[in-house]
Amino acid sequence: MSPHILRHTFAAHLAQKGMPLEGIQDLLGHVDPKNTQIYTKLYEEVKKELYDEWM
């Protein structure tokens, strides 16, 4: 367990719950939005899961 893993897990959970990337960026202290873009894949997974739920 490391601080980096805790930060990543925290941010990943927020992304999976649908928190806007700008909010995650702010909480993590990222100046460059590109540093927060890693979590966009999680948004795509969540959208697919929601879509599959309704189909």
pLDDT at 7: 85
Mean of pLDDT over the chain? 83
- Quick: pLDDT tens for 19-35: 888 999 999 999 998 88
Domain ranges for the chain: 3-54
Residue 17: Cβ within 10 Å count: 9
Instruction: Express as a percent the part of the chain with pLDDT over 90.
Output: 13
Q: What is the dihedral of CA 26, 27, 31, 33, to 10 degrees?
A: -70
| DSSP label at residue 18 | T
Burial class (CB in 10 A: 0-12, 13-18, 19+), 11: buried
Residues 6 or more apart whose CB falls under 8 angstroms from that of 36 comprise 11, 21, 24, 25, 28, 30
